[in-house]
Amino acid sequence: MINKENHNSIFMKNLQRGIDKGIITVTSDDSKITYHCKRDYTTSFKNPEEKVRASYFVELVLDYNYPPKNIDIEVTVPRRTPEDRADIVVYDENGEEYLVVECKKDGITDAEFRQAIEQVFGNANSLRAKFASVVAGITRTAFDVAGFKPSEREKNVISDIPKKYGKTPKYRFIKGSDNDLKIVSREELIRALEKSHDTVWQGGKLAPTTAFDEVSKLLFCKLRDEKTTKKGEAYSFQIGTHESAEEVFKRIDEIYQKAKKEDSEVFKEDIRLDPKVVYNVVEHLQGLAINKIDLDTKGIAFERFMQDFFKGKMGQFFTPREIVRFCVEMLVNPEKRSDLIIDPACGSGGFLLNAMDKIRRYAEENYEGIEAWDYWHRFAMNNLYGVEINDQIARVCKMNMIIHDDGHTNIISTDSLRNFDEITKIHKAFKKENFDILLTNPPFGAVVKSTEKDYLEKYELGKGRKNQKTEILFIERCLDFLKPDGKMAIVLPDGILTNSSLQYVRDFLMEKSQILAIVSLPQFAFTHFGAGVKSSLVFVRKKKPNEKLGNYPIFMAIAEHIGYDATGRKDPINDLDKILEEYRKFEKNPRGYKGV
């Protein structure tokens, strides 16, 4: 019964509560719903708006304590066009119209939401109701209608409708109370983020990436407010009764300015949005308990949200999670909690976050409560390092890590190929031979010219050359970052492994390291991320000084299926799982391994 929805959604929880309390009934095939209120009202349950209405009806009865006998559905509004009906009307104890509600599906645009506000005001004014409310999924706004001119739409906004004919609360969301923030499903979180982005983007007024930046700032404020508000206090990231957009903006900006002082690395500029736009974003996000949503849900939601705006434009900053996960599984040992992990081309942070998630899962399986939390938090704060050349994407990476519960302080924005002394000036940990594990998908195809970059001459693979490809210099730089005996996973174009003119690069790699494994990826591995170069994953261990290896076996594999197809759709087959299994056998006995 009701099997189509995400079971964590507020809608699902409310629906179940309503059914359990007998105030609504849904047919076994989910086709019809009956509201048991002033009169039993049955209607189709196929429409998304009906689901919103059902959910809010349950809240009105169970959370706001309005008696079902005082609530009616689909009420004809006099003095308006015949087809105009109010979605929900709550009557007071004397039978007078008290609250009129307009329900819309989740995810409508700001323009559609404003239209719904006009609709509810027309109905509320005609019915002479005291209050009005527009509910569009988790975005909702309530109004004090009786105390203001019919044309007022701002000063009469209230934080929430009163409970059972009582007083309007100054603020709706109080930490630790029955009115605390709600944990939502992944789909609800994605919709809230998308609505926020659309509000900020303003139909193309800002570039999508700039809009994303501004949403990130507000999201940062939201997360910080959730963490820093004390129990029993009202959250700052919400709209209070009769508050103007300017007052809300001022309060959000105070959170931001304080955070900026404490952590100037995350965001350098001020919030560059009109107070009204900020006010609308607060409407979308204010009721969500984002910090309490489990990390996997939150991570996938934020990743989906990011990719929608950056893929194509900035696809090179994303490595598909199937490839990322495989590399992390190959190299990261969660028992080695002192290992330092780096990605010198970290993009949005995929490799680092997956490594952190692996450590977290290990900690939660092997330790209890605060000990588990401490195990992986310390790792996130002290053991994960990233370099990203694009300042905006570096901020996205930091935001991504904050969303995942931190580790953002060791992400720097600079060119990984610069001289080491210049990099260590920014952050002293980014020095030669300091890291145990390196995971990266370096930029392909760009060329470093000696006339533009003075560092080319300092590379063994750059000496005496007028120019050199970035991916070739990256091989050398990655080995520089690694401690002797450290391991790396790197995505390399197949040309480096096969072109006869690049034999000198292969010789360099063989001289400095032991090649552990090469896994060939299909041509389409990166196409829906904006790159079409045929590539392989190369796994190496950096040799110790004066180490001589002689002949040794190398694990080789071809992955034809990698969990998604050329269009980015899910593929049920993923050869990487089997390859990992085989590599583990190879590791135990390299010379005796027979292959498949």
Residues 484 and 349 in one domain: yes
- pLDDT, the chain, mean: 89
What per-residue confidence (pLDDT) applies to 74? Answer: 93
Identify the band that residue 5 occupies on the pLDDT scale cut at 50, 70 and 90: very low
Q: Amino acid identity of 375?
A: Y
Q: How many CB atoms sit inside 10 A of residue 507's CB?
A: 10
Give the lowest-confidence range in 17-26, 105-114, 233-242, 328-337: 105-114
Domain C-terminal end among 292, 315, 345: 292
What per-residue confidence (pLDDT) applies to 313? Answer: 53
Residues 287 and 300 in one domain: no
Classify residue 443 by its DSSP letter. Answer: P
Please check the confidence at residue 332 and state whether its pLDDT lies above 80. Answer: yes
Question: Rounded to whole angstroms, how far apart are CA atoms 260 and 465?
Answer: 44
Mean pLDDT of 516-530: 85
Percentage of the chain with pLDDT > 70?
A: 94
Overall domain count for the chain = 3
3 state SS of 322: helix
Residues 198 and 110 in one domain: no
Classify residue 552 by its DSSP letter. Answer: -
Residue 173 lies in a domain: no
pLDDT in tens, 453-503: 889 999 999 998 999 999 999 999 999 999 999 999 999 999 999 999 999
Quickly list DSSP for 383-424.
SEEEE-SSHHHHHHHHHHHHHTT--GGGEE-S-TTS-HHHHH
Classify residue 294 by its DSSP letter. Answer: -
Claim: this prediction has a pTM higher than 0.85: no
Residues 153 and 194 in one domain: no
Find out whether 54 and 32 touch, Cβ atoms under 8 Å: no
What per-residue confidence (pLDDT) applies to 4? Answer: 46
Percentage of the chain with pLDDT > 90?
A: 64
Residues 456 and 563 in one domain: yes
What per-residue confidence (pLDDT) applies to 187? Answer: 85
Residues 301 and 440 in one domain: yes
3 state SS of 153: coil
Mean pLDDT of 394-421: 86
What per-residue confidence (pLDDT) applies to 454? Answer: 87
Give the lowest-confidence range in 120-134, 251-265, 482-496: 251-265
Higher pLDDT, 17 or 185: 17
Residue 254 lies in a domain: yes
Write the CB contacts of 497 (distance below 8 Å, at least 6 apart in sequence). Answer: 506, 518, 536, 538
For residue 104, the cross-strand partners are: 136
Find out whether 467 and 448 touch, Cβ atoms under 8 Å: yes
Residues 263 and 321 in one domain: no
For residue 26, the cross-strand partners are: 33
Identify the band that residue 321 occupies on the pLDDT scale cut at 50, 70 and 90: confident
Alpha helices in 468-541 (DSSP H): 470-481, 494-498, 503-512
Residue 555 lies in a domain: yes
Identify the band that residue 1 occupies on the pLDDT scale cut at 50, 70 and 90: very low
CATH code of 360's domain = 3.40.50.150
Write the CB contacts of 32 (distance below 8 Å, at least 6 apart in sequence). Answer: 26, 42, 43, 44, 45
Q: Per the structure block, which two tokens stand in for 61?
A: 């009865």
Please check the confidence at residue 181 and state whether its pLDDT lies above 80. Answer: yes
3 state SS of 160: coil
CATH code of 55's domain = 3.90.1570
Whole domain around residue 234: which residue ranges?
186-292
Residue 175 lies in a domain: no
Please check the confidence at residue 101 and state whether its pLDDT lies above 50. Answer: yes
What per-residue confidence (pLDDT) applies to 531? Answer: 64
What per-residue confidence (pLDDT) applies to 317? Answer: 60
Residues 39 and 90 in one domain: yes
Find out whether 514 and 504 touch, Cβ atoms under 8 Å: no
What per-residue confidence (pLDDT) applies to 186? Answer: 83
Please check the confidence at residue 555 and state whether its pLDDT lies above 90. Answer: yes
Distance between first and last Cα of the chain: 46
Identify the band that residue 26 occupies on the pLDDT scale cut at 50, 70 and 90: very high
Residue 167 lies in a domain: no
CA angle 330, 335, 336 (to 5 degrees): 85
Identify the band that residue 311 occupies on the pLDDT scale cut at 50, 70 and 90: low
Identify the band that residue 259 occupies on the pLDDT scale cut at 50, 70 and 90: confident
Read off φ and ψ for residue 114, nearest 5 degrees: -65, -40
What per-residue confidence (pLDDT) applies to 318? Answer: 75
Q: Amino acid identity of 117?
A: I
Identify the band that residue 292 occupies on the pLDDT scale cut at 50, 70 and 90: confident
Mean pLDDT of 352-365: 92
What per-residue confidence (pLDDT) applies to 395? Answer: 82
Residue 300 lies in a domain: yes
Find out whether 496 and 534 touch, Cβ atoms under 8 Å: no
Please report, for the chain, how many H helices and E strands are present, in that order. 17, 21
3 state SS of 516: strand
Mean pLDDT of 261-270: 76
Q: Per the structure block, which two tokens stand in for 137?
A: 């999924």
Residue 309 lies in a domain: yes
Mean pLDDT of 234-244: 94
Mean pLDDT of 123-147: 91
Please check the confidence at residue 3 and state whether its pLDDT lies above 80. Answer: no
Higher pLDDT, 353 or 6: 353
C-alpha gyration radius of the chain: 28
- C-alpha 257: how far from chain center: 23
Side by side, the strands of the sheet bearing 24-26 are 24-26, 32-36, 40-44
Please check the confidence at residue 563 and state whether its pLDDT lies above 80. Answer: yes
What per-residue confidence (pLDDT) applies to 82? Answer: 59
Find out whether 127 and 100 touch, Cβ atoms under 8 Å: yes
Q: Per the structure block, which two tokens stand in for 356?
A: 């952190």
Domain C-terminal end among 233, 258, 292: 292
Find out whether 461 and 476 touch, Cβ atoms under 8 Å: yes
3 state SS of 189: helix
Residues 56 and 202 in one domain: no
Residues 253 and 307 in one domain: no
pLDDT in tens, 68-79: 999 999 999 886
Residues 383 and 451 in one domain: yes
Instruction: State the pairing for strand pair 555-558/513-520.
Output: parallel
What per-residue confidence (pLDDT) applies to 8? Answer: 59
Please check the confidence at residue 329 and state whether its pLDDT lies above 60. Answer: yes
Domain C-terminal end among 259, 292, 325: 292
Residues 129 and 20 in one domain: yes
Residue 506 lies in a domain: yes
Q: At what angle do helices 208-228 and 391-403 cross, to 10 degrees?
A: 30
Question: Rounded to whole angstroms, how far apart are CA atoms 381 and 403?
Answer: 14
